[in-house]
Amino acid sequence: MAEIKAQPFAFPLKRDAVALIVIDMQRDFAEPGGFGASLGNDVSRIAKIVPDVKRLLAGFRDAGLPVIHTMECHKPDLSDLPPAKRDRGNPLLRIGDVGPMGRILIAGEPGTAILPELAPIDGEIIIEKPGKGAFYATDLGNILTSKGIKQLVFAGVTTEVCVQTTMREANDRGYYCLLAEEATESYFPEFKAAAIAMIRAQGAIVGWTARVDDILETIN
Ligand code: C5J
């Protein structure tokens, strides 16, 4: 069996059961004027990982392996946005309010779109999710089961929020989870470092982490 060099030990790759899941690489998190910026974050940190996410995407596409994209977003009527989520953050620009890139985190708005450099191509799965985790209130679990996917390689943002939440959901559902280290980012470098350490601590309690080059070398 092929193995990806990883931490805390080699990841046992099942080529016929692995998919890449790119979490929330949306303009709202990476560009000025979006949700991330409205919360006072330095969004340039997110924009910097685009090349690494892009080459990971290219590697999976070249290898003919499945790719899933997620988007954190809500219905225009906000029926899937609990007040407990809406009533936090920046009181001047809440989810659903109109910002410079349209309504914040609302499906179909310009700011909610995936960054053009990382846009899905035909045949790739797109999951619109109202929560931080991609399994909550979505079809992701059924889609993975129907395609026989048992291993997920994670990229995207932010490491300690939507990426780690989804990884933990997947871990509890029995998936082998591997996080691509340079293809994920946080607005807080210390949170990224802590999330990576937590994931692979205690003998991979949530999953594995690996360098993008090591993942690409093994899948191709
Ligand atoms: C956040 C996400 N940070 N995609 N969303 O609110 O991590």
Number of Cβ within 10 Å of residue 46's Cβ equals 27
Rg of the chain on CA atoms, in Å: 17
Q: Name the helix (H) or strand (E) containing 143.
A: helix 140-147
The answer, yes or no, to whether residue 64 has pLDDT greater than 90, is: yes
**Amino acid letter at 86?**
R
pLDDT attached to residue 208: 98
Question: Distance from CA of residue 195 to its chain's centroid?
Answer: 14
Burial 183-193 (b: 16+ CB within 10 A, else e): bbbbbbeebbe
pLDDT tens digits, 87-108: 999 999 999 999 999 999 999 9
Interval 181-197 mean pLDDT: 98
Say if residue 182 is exposed, middle or buried (CB neighbours under 10 Å; 0-12, 13-18, 19+): middle
Give 73 Cα–ligand 1 centroid separation in angstroms.
Answer: 10
Q: Whose CA is nearest to atom 5 of ligand 1?
A: 162
Give 156 Cα–ligand 1 centroid separation in angstroms.
Answer: 10
pLDDT attached to residue 23: 99
Q: Which atom of ligand 1 is nearest to the CA of 35?
A: 6
As a whole number of angstroms, the distance between CA 130 and CA 136 comes to 8
As a whole number of angstroms, the distance between CA 13 and CA 177 comes to 10
Give 132 Cα–ligand 1 centroid separation in angstroms.
Answer: 6
Question: Measured from the CB, is residue 158 less than 6 Å from ligand 1?
Answer: yes
Give 159 Cα–ligand 1 centroid separation in angstroms.
Answer: 8
The CA distances from residue 93 to 86, 123, 141, 170, in Å, are 10, 35, 32, 32
Question: Measured from the CB, is residue 72 less than 6 Å from ligand 1?
Answer: yes
Active site residues: 24, 129, 162
Q: Name the helix (H) or strand (E) containing 146.
A: helix 140-147
Q: Whose CA is nearest to atom 2 of ligand 1?
A: 162
Question: Measured from the CB, is residue 105 less than 6 Å from ligand 1?
Answer: no
Q: Whose CA is nearest to atom 4 of ligand 1?
A: 162
As a whole number of angstroms, the distance between CA 65 and CA 88 comes to 38
Question: Measured from the CB, is residue 144 less than 6 Å from ligand 1?
Answer: no
pLDDT tens digits, 11-56: 999 999 999 999 999 999 999 999 999 999 999 999 999 999 999 9
pLDDT band at 1 (very low <50, low <70, confident <90, very high): confident
Answering whether pTM is above 0.90, one says yes
Question: Measured from the CB, is residue 157 less than 6 Å from ligand 1?
Answer: yes
Question: Measured from the CB, is residue 25 less than 6 Å from ligand 1?
Answer: no
As a whole number of angstroms, the distance between CA 162 and CA 158 comes to 6
